[in-house]
Amino acid sequence: MKYVFPQNFFWGSAASGPQMEGAAAVDGRKPSIWDHWYNIEPERFFDQVGPENTSNFYYQYKEDIALMKQLGHNSFRTSIQWTRLIPDGVGEVNPKAVTFYNHVIDELIANGIEPFITLYHFDMPLSMQEKGGFESREVVNAYVLFAETCFKLFGDRVKYWFTFNEPIVPVEAGYLYDMHYPNVVDFKRAVQVAFGTTLAHARAVERYHELALDGQIGIVLNLTPSYPRSQNPADVKAAHIADLFFNRSFLDPVTKGEFPADLVEIIREHDFLPEYQLNDLEIIRQNKIDFLGVNYYQPRRVKAKENLPNPEAPFMPEHLFDNYAMPNRKMNRYRGWEIYEKAMYDICINLRDNYHNLPFYISENGMGVEGEDRYRNEEGFIDDSYRINFMKEHLKWLNKAILEGANCHGYHLWTFIDCWSWANAYKNRYGLVEVDLANHYKRIIKSSGYWYKDLAQNNGFCID
């Protein structure tokens, strides 16, 4: 079987500034919430490895971009760190950061690699979090100024912008489930953060379009299809509710300009509606995205509630459904995530049929594995055939969706080089290229890197 993709398809990888740049406390960069959280609770991080220990891209971007070209990349997504460009969140722009990001963008373009730039990838400046993060209108305003600064500085060369990466994650992890800083467990505050983020996004889209730059702006959403345990109406309803909370809460307002009516009704019924101003909803309605980034890693499986929630417990979305572990599911046991490749197809068809078939890119998809060193072969590099198989099986379903009319224009693997991954640090490796933790300057291409080069050069792949 031969799987061929459309002409001018974007093949590349994705990363983020805070996860790969390093140089966390040099050249004017100031602390983010990750630096602060590590300083006060290092035990919450795997092996107590903090955000200063990343992949050294700040110093090795030329060599790394040359490696990207060697591995067939014609595009690469990364982010601009707010803490590096405007270290206090508002106010003076850091000239050393401007020089660095200009050099990165120019180097990518010189190597035939299209830069896809994300503005916010979980890295809230500590000074902004102290003002309330996206609960605060002051911080929303500061983010919009940061976005405008980026557009004016780099928009002559960057043609593809994303306002946020996975905005549901800070809501879930930071304000519901005590997984990320600020470690809040409060549904009402989570709703306020989600609304503030949506408003910040819409205002950044508005500002970008007002500048009339030659490019597109969108957002990256991690879409996790919600599958019911059965077709029993109670299970189907439970899956619908989960989809409202974890997918459509952001997908609908950024593409259709409105929040799902049944989600609004649930939030109103529990008295958790956010505070907002009269024109906020109109701003969200008018400023829809040009294109979408889709991150896909795992599905969500859901069933109807089996027991009533404790009425004294803080409200959570799971008060309305139960998660379901499907028997005999395929798992990435290192990450604890189900591997379900067909969901890639289901996402694409949903966008085709229910979201005006808007243009989109697979902006992340990948497999993290712990202890990869045990797969090192006699030639000295990691033979990660499991990662190659993971890509093949997902790309088969992506190809099928494209042949059936899905408007997908590219695929970005997570990630180019092993990177620091939030509280998981370096527990799981995702890269096409290995970084040596004993010497962050050393890179070794894995088997998947060579396979990816062939994939990109042939604009597809064959399976015997």
pLDDT in tens, 416-428: 999 999 999 999 9
* The predicted structure's pLDDT at residue 54: 87
Flag whether pLDDT at 200 surpasses 80.
yes
pLDDT confidence band for 190 (50 / 70 / 90): very high
Percent of the chain with pLDDT over 90: 95
- Three-state secondary structure readout of 396-426: HHHHHHHHCCCCEEEEEEECCECCCCHHHCC
Q: How are beta strands 460-462 and 226-228 bridged, if at all?
A: unpaired
Q: What is the mean pLDDT of residues 265-281?
A: 96
Of 321, 317, 319, 331, nearest to 301 by C-alpha is 321
The mean of the pLDDT values for the chain is 96
The pLDDT tens digits for 352-378 are 999 999 999 999 999 999 999 999 999
How much is the average pLDDT of 426-454? Answer: 93
**464 CB neighbour count, 10 Å cutoff:** 3
pLDDT value of residue 436: 86
pLDDT bracket for residue 437 (50, 70, 90): confident
Residue 274 has pLDDT above 80, yes or no: yes
Euclidean distance between the first and the last CA atom of the chain, given in angstroms as a whole number: 6
Confidence of residue 1 (pLDDT cuts 50, 70, 90): confident
The model's confidence at residue 288, banded by pLDDT at 50, 70 and 90, is very high
Q: What is the pLDDT of residue 463?
A: 87
Q: Above 90 in pLDDT, residue 129?
A: yes
Q: For the chain, give the percent of residues with pLDDT over 70.
A: 100
Is residue 364 part of the annotated active site? The answer reads yes
Active site residue 275: no
Mean pLDDT over 374-396 rounds to 96
CA-based nearest residue to 262, from 240, 281, 279: 240
Alpha-carbon distance of 208 to 227, in angstroms, equals 36
- Which of 153, 38, 171 minimizes the C-alpha distance to 84? 153
- Positive or negative, the CA dihedral 405, 1, 331, 166 is negative
Q: Please tell me which residue in 135, 166, 172, 434 is annotated as part of the active site.
A: 166
For range 184-213, the mean pLDDT: 98
23 pLDDT higher than 80: yes
For the CA atoms of 306, 310, 316, 317, the dihedral, rounded to the nearest 10 degrees, stands at 20
Kindly list the distances between the CA atom of residue 140 and the CA atoms of 163, 167, 193, 199, 454, in Å, as whole numbers in the listed order: 12, 14, 10, 8, 43
CB 382 within 8 A of CB 446: yes
For the chain, the structural domain boundaries read: 2-462
Is the pTM for the entire model greater than 0.85?
yes
Could you tell me which of 441, 438, 435, 439 has the C-alpha nearest to residue 420? 435
Give the Cα separation of 183 and 172 in Å (integer).
10
Encoded tokens for 130: 């102290």
| Distance, C-alpha 271 to centroid of its chain | 30
Instruction: Give the confidence band of 251 by pLDDT, cuts at 50, 70, 90.
Output: very high
Q: Is the pLDDT of residue 53 over 80?
A: no
pLDDT computed for residue 134 by the predictor:
98
Place 299 in a pLDDT band, splitting at 50, 70 and 90: very high
Backbone φ/ψ region at 263: left (φ over 0), alpha (ψ -120 to 50), beta: alpha
What pLDDT sits at residue 366? Answer: 97
Catalytic-role residue among 21, 364, 372, 434: 364
Confidence tier at 305 by pLDDT (50, 70, 90): very high
CATH of 2-462 given 2.60.40.420, 3.20.20.80, 3.40.50.2300, 4.10.410.60: 3.20.20.80
Residue 439 pLDDT: 79
